[in-house]
Chain A
Amino acid sequence: MKNKLIISLLALFAISLAGCGGQQAVKPSASGTGQAAGAGQGAESAGAGQTGGAQGSALGGQQQAPAVVLHTVHFAFDSSHIDSKNRAIVEANAAYMNANPQVTVTLQGNTDERGTREYNLALGERRAQSVKRMMRVLGVASDRMKTVSFGAEKPVALGHNRAAWRLNRRVDFVYSD
């Protein structure tokens, strides 16, 4: 119920933005497109040997508040620079957060698959921090923003081509209230 309310509020907000700014509209979408961090999913471990002591311990992540993805910022290869088109998206999100002081956001940094995984994990964090820095300049308090990097591990497009890579080099805004 609360979730729906947020979506419709965001939709209203998006429409009003589109109306006055003439910029690309901020499109809310259901949380299915974004990846909520640690949605209570555990990993199961097992041994492969000698004592046979399989420790299938489910280590659950903590439950999180319902999340809604407002929008996504995209990047060039091996870059955390926010160009003018993507800057407008960050500005729209900053405006939303400034208008809704109760919401907090997780900035999820991602990369395409090219290059090495550990470097990409670091690059994803740098992208998330780059967005956070711009949001702060736009008036959003640091303590309302968290960053997390998934590196190349959570692509939204599974192809191995330019079109997929372009979509995967991104920071997702994942909101909670």
Chain B
Amino acid sequence: MQHSISMSAGRSRWYAMLVGLCLAIFAQSVGAVLTIEITKGLEHGLPIAIVPFSWSGPGRPAQDVSAVIKADLVRSGRFDALPTRDFLSMPHADKQVVFKDWRLIKAEALVIGAVRALPSGQYQVQFRLYDVFKQKQLAGFLYVVTAAQLRTVAHQISDIIYQKLTGVQGAFNTRIAYITRTGGVHHPVFRLQVADSDGYDPRTILRSPQPLMSPAWSPDGTRLAYVSFEHGHSVVYIQNVDTGARWKVADFRGINSAPAWSPGGRRLALSLSLSGHPEIYVMTLSDGALKRLTDDSAINTEPDWSPHGRHIVFTSDRSGSPQIFRMNANGGDVERLTFEGNYNAAPSYSPNGKLLALITEQQGQFHAAILHLRDSALQVLTDTSLDESPTFAPNGQMILYATIVHGRGVLATVSVDGSVRQMLKTNEGDVREPAWSPFDHQLQAN
């Protein structure tokens, strides 16, 4: 059984444009590459055999598709990729699969595939996923793509494998946004960058000599809201990620900060101090109308909407130290959610609305943690001491955050149970303030 889909032409143009753009404008920023280092893996992941895909065509393929798939699955912490040297056979087609070979090495799942260069210059990628014990194919797809789309296809295959074997939607074919800072105290350079979820292909979408903060993806993944100090004070902008078009949305007296999109993407929650102290506001983007939701003399900031838009959580020090509060999206029924410790801040809802990722302080150390909303249990996830900006993967399985390791700002991910951790580092300067994109919903398999 084989399904066939082909990807929209839009994506290939997108990459081609992108390459030109990077070379033309940001040639000097190409050096800032993110690399991944797995710092803590799972001991009992599902054993999976990923046979290196065969290649028919001149030279070498533009991307090693099966290597990308393997890296994705291992990074998720849910899989234990068996070493290729143990394989007793190297099947690339359905009729070459001998299930006994895979039972013997205790593989529970098997992935095979082939990449072929077509006369048109495109590539044909096919893969099959098998359940070794049931001796059954779980998925099989064929794609025809350009060279620039090979990594995207690999991530999409990873998503399918992840979904079939764990029952949870994969989040490999997504993007991350983050801020980098290079240069010393006096001449820093700040960049807002967007990369694939594995850190590959970083692109600078804004560069400034003044600080940039708080990138937040619109729910449709087309725009980023962020804070820029390019005018000497904090101003909130929205920028279209693909076109680069940007517009100012909040430039009031005082601070303009902490943008958070409503689930429908039509409103933005913000922390503004135009009244004299920072309060939570909701702005309707179509007309700029502001509604104030909090009213006290404390700090009220870092709003985040519940997935269905009913509640807004935020940080406030109205009770003396920063703690997390929840209110109705119209501002009523304020309830304090955190009581442990002197510093709980930067709440971010899980996609299912049951958890909050946040930063909590314990003995002078700032850790990424999870608050279980059902029973208010607080679970610290890290052993690093300067964590900030936690954000959920769109499938809710991982938390991406920023921290300091060996004096450098890095990004790190941790699985929601704390069992798997990895680090994304740049080769120069600091990287901080990550935001994980929503699902990329442009590709549909048959």
Residues of B within 8 A of A48 (CB): 18, 21, 194, 203, 205, 241-242, 244
With beta carbons under 8 angstroms apart, the residue of A51, A52, A56, A158 that contacts B184 is A158
A15–B271 alpha-carbon span in the complex (Å): 43
A28 interface hit (Cβ, 8 Å): no
Which residues of chain A (140-177) have a CB below 8 Å from chain B?
147-151, 153-160
A136 interface hit (Cβ, 8 Å): no
B173-193 near A? 1/0 per residue, CB < 8 Å? 000000000001110000000
Question: Contact at B302–A32, with CB atoms within 8 Å?
Answer: no
Question: Contact at B346–A118, with CB atoms within 8 Å?
Answer: yes
A42 interface hit (Cβ, 8 Å): yes
Closest-CB distance, B168 to chain A (whole angstroms): 28
A28–B240 alpha-carbon span in the complex (Å): 44
Using known A-B contacts A43-B207, A47-B21, A122-B255, determine if residue A116 contacts B346 with beta carbons closer than 8 Å. Answer: yes
- Main DSSP-derived SS at the A contact region: loop
B273 interface hit (Cβ, 8 Å): yes
Question: Contact at B245–A53, with CB atoms within 8 Å?
Answer: yes
Question: Contact at B278–A47, with CB atoms within 8 Å?
Answer: no
Question: Contact at A149–B25, with CB atoms within 8 Å?
Answer: no
Contact-residue size bin, chain A (C-beta under 8 Å from the other chain): 35 or more
Closest-CB distance, B60 to chain A (whole angstroms): 27
Closest-CB distance, A64 to chain B (whole angstroms): 8
- Main DSSP-derived SS at the B contact region: mixed
Question: Contact at B17–A118, with CB atoms within 8 Å?
Answer: no
Question: Contact at B321–A78, with CB atoms within 8 Å?
Answer: yes
B137 interface hit (Cβ, 8 Å): no
Q: Specify which of A37, A49, A50, A64 lies most central, judged by the most chain B CB atoms within 10 Å of its CB.
A: A49
B72 interface hit (Cβ, 8 Å): no
B1-41 near A? 1/0 per residue, CB < 8 Å? 00000000010011001101100111000000000000000
Residues of A within 8 A of B257 (CB): 118, 121-122
Question: Contact at B278–A148, with CB atoms within 8 Å?
Answer: no
A101-123 near B? 1/0 per residue, CB < 8 Å? 00000000000011111110111
Which residues of chain B (193-211) have a CB below 8 Å from chain A?
194, 203-211
With beta carbons under 8 angstroms apart, the residue of A47, A53, A56, A148 that contacts B233 is A148
Question: Contact at A150–B229, with CB atoms within 8 Å?
Answer: yes
Closest partner residue, chain A, to B259 (CB atom): A118
Residues of A within 8 A of B207 (CB): 43-44, 46
A125–B346 alpha-carbon span in the complex (Å): 18
Residues of B within 8 A of A46 (CB): 21, 25-26, 204-207, 244
A66 interface hit (Cβ, 8 Å): no
A125–B276 alpha-carbon span in the complex (Å): 10
Residues of A within 8 A of B (CB): 32, 36-39, 41-57, 59, 61-62, 64, 78, 113-119, 121-123, 125-126, 129, 147-151, 153-160
| 18 CB-based A-B contacts, threshold 8 Å | A37-B233, A38-B230, A43-B228, A43-B230, A45-B206, A49-B14, A50-B242, A51-B243, A54-B24, A56-B25, A61-B230, A115-B359, A117-B213, A117-B433, A119-B317, A121-B255, A122-B278, A122-B301
